[in-house]
Amino acid sequence: MTGFSRLAGKLQSSSTARLTHNLSLRLLRPLRSFLSFLSAGMDDLLAPDDCPFDLYPGSRSPPLLLLYDADADDDGGFEDNHGESIYLVPYSWWIKARNNVKEVGGTLYTTTSKEDFAKQILLEMRRENCHKSDNDKEGFSGSEFALVPEATWLQTLKSHDEYIGVNGIGTVLAAKSQMHDVFPLQIRLSVSQETKSLRARISLTDNPIDYYRKACSIFQPETELLRIWDFSGQTTLFFMDDGNEFAADSPRHSRREILLELQVHGLSNSGNDMRRREDDATFADSRMGGTFSSGILRLNGSIDSFQPDGRTYNLSESDGYHQETGLLGLKGLQNLGNTCFMNSAIQCLVHTPKVVDYFLGDYWKEINSTNPLGMQGELALAFGELSRKLWSPGTNPVAPRAFKSKLAKFAPQFSGYNQHDSQEFLAFLLDGLHEDLNRVKQKPYIEMKDAADRPDEEAAEEYWQSHLARNDSIIVDVCQGQFRSKLVCPMCKKVSITFDPFMYLTLPLPSTTMRSMTVTLVSTDGVALPSPVAVSVPNCGSLKDLIQALSVACFLRDDETLLVAEVYNSRILRYLEEPYDSIDLIRDDDYIVAYRLPKGSETSVLVQFMHKKAERDDYSGRAFTRMFGLPLVARLTGLSCGYDVRQAFLRLINPFLKPTEDASYDHDDAEHSVSAYEDSEMEDAQSPCDTESDADMVDGPNEFEFSLDGSSKLKMFDPIVVARAQGSLEIIALWPEKMLEKYDMCFLGSLPEVFKHQLFSSRPPESVSLYNCLESFLKEEPLGPEDMWYCPSCKRHQQASKKLDLWRLPEILVVHLKRFSYSQFLKNKLETFVDFPIEDLDLSSYIANRSSPSSCRYVLYAISNHYGGMGGGHYTAFVHHGRNRWYEFDDGWVFPINEEGIKTSAAYVLFYRRVPAA
C-alpha cells in the first residue's frame, strides 16, 4: 500500500509529533527556508540524496520537511515507507492535455466550499456513486479539478508540451505560465463521520495572508459547487468495497487532522481568471503521497522542482538560461567535478522517445530486484528520479548527486572526479538499466545451434526469440538490434553463421586523406648507405599499409623482407611486427627504421649492434661514454664466438668508410674489406677462433671493443651462447677515436623524423561521411592474432575472415564514432569531421534481411560531443526538442543552437530514432 492507504490505516501517535505540533507554523516556515539555504550552499557536505538531515537512514529520498498529524499522541514511532505524489490540476486542462496518455476511469467528488469567521476555508468532499470516463461531457458551471498521480501528470504535461510544439501554437510565454506564481499552501485533511465525507481545511493561521487570498480565489467560497475527479485511485482506499462507508481503520475514529502541504502552480487571484487560464497548463502540486506513520506525512518529492519558502520561479538569462528554457525538458545538470561526460550522455538518454515516457510512468512496477546481474533496482530508481527532476517544471539545473552516488556504488571506475568516456558510461548505464528492469525473473539455459545449414530468416528468428527468453526490458524493446556474423576458415573453408544482439554501433573512421611518413631504410648487405624514404599511407591505415608502401618505394625483391622498428636514444625501442596495428601508434616526431633482411632467415639469430663512444666533460674533465648513431641489425647463422661478431659488424659498417686514399690501418686492410670478408666465408669450416693467437691479432687500442649489453668486454675467443627462446642478441660496439675518423659519422648519425612540421603549417582537415564509416565497419576482414577463431573442422584456432551484416534494426539507433585509440604506448584522438545525415539516415541498402517489415529510415535527435584532446577536454550535448529547434546542453547551461551548427568534428555519439514507414 502507498500514500493514502497508510493515511487510512496506519496513523500512530508520536511524542515527536506532539512536540512538532507545539511549534508555530510561523516559526517552522523561516526555519525551513534557512535549511533550504544551507542545503544550497553546502552541496559538497551533504549526503548523496541532496538532503541536509537523514532522519530515515534506509530511505531512498529523505524529505527536507516533515508534515505531521495535528492531533498525534505520544505512543507512535517513525517508519520508513514511500508513496507517490498526487497532483491537483484543472479538469478541463487535463482532458485537453491528455493526448496519448492512457485513459483511466475516475471517481467523482462533489465539493462544497465555504469560509467561516475564523478565516478558514472548509471543503466538504462527498463521493458520488459513479465512475464516469474523462470523455463524459456533462454541462457543469462550477470549477472542476482532477487528482492524478505524479507519473501520469508528468506524461500528460510532456505530451501536451509536444502537442503544442507540433501544431506550432506554443509560445515562450505559454510555456512560462507552467512555472508562474509557485506558492505553498497548507491544508488540514480529516474525515467527517456525520456527513460521510472527506473534509479539507485551509486556515489563515497556517498560511501567509497572500497565499490564503489566492486560495480563496481558487476555491471560490460560498459561490459555486466544485467537482474533483480522482484519477489516481488513492482516495478509494478510505472506503470499503467501493461503497460510501469508511473503512474501520480510517482516521475518522481518532478524529485527527492530517496536515498537507500543496505547492500551487500558476493559479491567479481571480476565479474567472483562473478558468480562462486553465488551458495554459496551470496546476497544483499536492504532495499527498507521503508515508503516514505516527501521524507524519513525509514529502517524497524533489526540492529542485520548487522552493520550500514559496519563492516564485523567474526565468532570466542572468541565471544562465535562455528565455525558451521555460519549456519542459530543458533543465541542465550541474557539473559535480569532471562529470560533463555523465551529463552529456544523460541528457541524450532522457530525451530519447519511449525511454523518457517509460521512466515518467510506472517504471518501478517492472524493477527486478533479484537479478544477480543487476543492481537490485537501485540504478533504475536513481535514473528514474533524475529523469523526473529533469522533466519537471522549473529552471534551476539539477544536481545529480544521488544518481552519481549509486553509479559509484555499482561501478567504482566512475567514482571520484576524474574525466571518463561518455560512451563507456552510456554502455554501462544501458546495460545496468536493462538488468534492473529485466522482466525475466528466471533465465532459462538455451544452447544455440549454428545457423550455417539453415535459412537465415529461420535461424535469425530462433536466435532472437532465445535472446528475448533471457532478456526482456524497455532497453531491449527500444535500443537493441541484431547482427548477422559470418566466419570463414582460411584452411578448410568452414562457414559459421550466428545472429548476435547489439545495443549500439561502434564505427571506425576510415581515412580519406593520406599521411606522409618518412622512414629510414637500412640495408644489411654491407653495400648501400641508409637512406630516407618518404611514402604516403592512408591516415587511418595499418602497419601492413606502411610496409606495402615501403616495399614499392625501395623496390624490395622477392627474396627480401622488411623489419620495421622504432629507434629512441640510439636504441631500438620496439619492433613493429603486428601487421594490423594502426599507424596512429606512430607519432610524427618518432624515428622509424626499416631494415632489409633476407627472406627465410627468421630462424637465425637477430643481432642488434648499438654504438658507444668515449667523451670527456669540458668543465670537469671527467671521461664518460654515451650512445650514438643508428642501430644496425643482421641475422647471423653459425654464430660461435666474438670473432664472428666482429666480422659481421665490419660488414655492416663497410658502407660508412670514408673514401680517402691515404687511409692506413694497424692491421691488414683485407680484414676491413668486404672482399676479404667474403673470401673468409669461402674458406674451410675452420673457426677463426681456434687459436688464441689469431684472436689476439684483432685486439688492440685502435680496435673496436664489443660487449654484450650489460656485461663485460667480449673477447674474440669467447664462445657465444644464444638461448633458443631468446632468438636475439644485443651487442654494444665501443668506437675508438681512430675508427671515428675512418668512418663517416654523418651518415651513421642522421635519422629523420616521421614527419617534420613546418612553421605555420597544418594538415588539411579530413572529412568522411557516416555511410563510409558504416561500410568500413561492415567490410570483410581477417581476425587479429589475439581474436583467432576455433574451427570445429580443423580442431584448432584459425585466423578466420569475419563479415558483419545488419539484420534487425532497433527503434533507437545509437552510433558511436570511434575517435579514440589506445595502445600500450600511445593514446590518440581523431578530429575527423563526419558528415552525418540529420533528417534522413537511410540504411535500406545496408540491411541483409530484405524481408524486414520495419522502416530503415532514421532521424537524428541527439548528439554527445567531445571537445579537446586525450588529456582532458569537455563534453556537451545537442538535443532536438520539438518546435523544430535544437538546444545545446553544456552542464547547467541550456541555450538554442541553429541546426547548421550541430555538425562539428566534436560529434562523438549520435542518437537516431526510427521514422515510421508510410
Length of the chain: 918
Here the cell at position 410 is 555499482
- Compute the distance between CA of residue 832 and CA of residue 510 in angstroms, rounded to an integer: 9
Residues tagged active-site: 340, 874
Which H helix or E strand runs over 652? helix 642-653
How many angstroms separate the most distant Cα atoms in the chain?
A: 131
**Which residue shows C-alpha cell 497556517?**
206
Strand bridging mode 107-116 / 120-127: antiparallel
Strand bridging mode 827-829 / 820-822: antiparallel
Here the cell at position 52 is 541536509
708: region left, alpha or beta (phi > 0 left; psi from -120 to 50 alpha): beta
C-alpha distances (whole Å) from 881 to each of 98, 579, 859 are 19, 46, 13
CB atoms within 10 A of CB 678: 11
Which H helix or E strand runs over 186? strand 182-192
Q: Are 478 and 810 in contact (CB under 8 A)?
A: yes
At 392 the three-state DSSP class reads coil
- Compute the distance between CA of residue 137 and CA of residue 140 in angstroms, rounded to an integer: 9
Q: Are 226 and 145 in contact (CB under 8 A)?
A: yes
Amino acid, single-letter form, for residue 12: Q
- Candidates 862, 885, 892, 888; CA nearest to 876 is 888
Residue 128 DSSP class: P
At 894 the three-state DSSP class reads strand
At 834 the three-state DSSP class reads strand
- Compute the distance between CA of residue 297 and CA of residue 189 in angstroms, rounded to an integer: 11
Burial classification of residue 59, based on how many CB atoms lie within 10 Å of its CB (0-12 exposed, 13-18 middle, 19 or more buried): middle
Which H helix or E strand runs over 165? helix 150-166
Which H helix or E strand runs over 562? strand 560-568
- Compute the distance between CA of residue 31 and CA of residue 376 in angstroms, rounded to an integer: 37
Q: Are 497 and 482 in contact (CB under 8 A)?
A: no
Helix residue ranges per DSSP H, 654-736: 674-682, 692-696
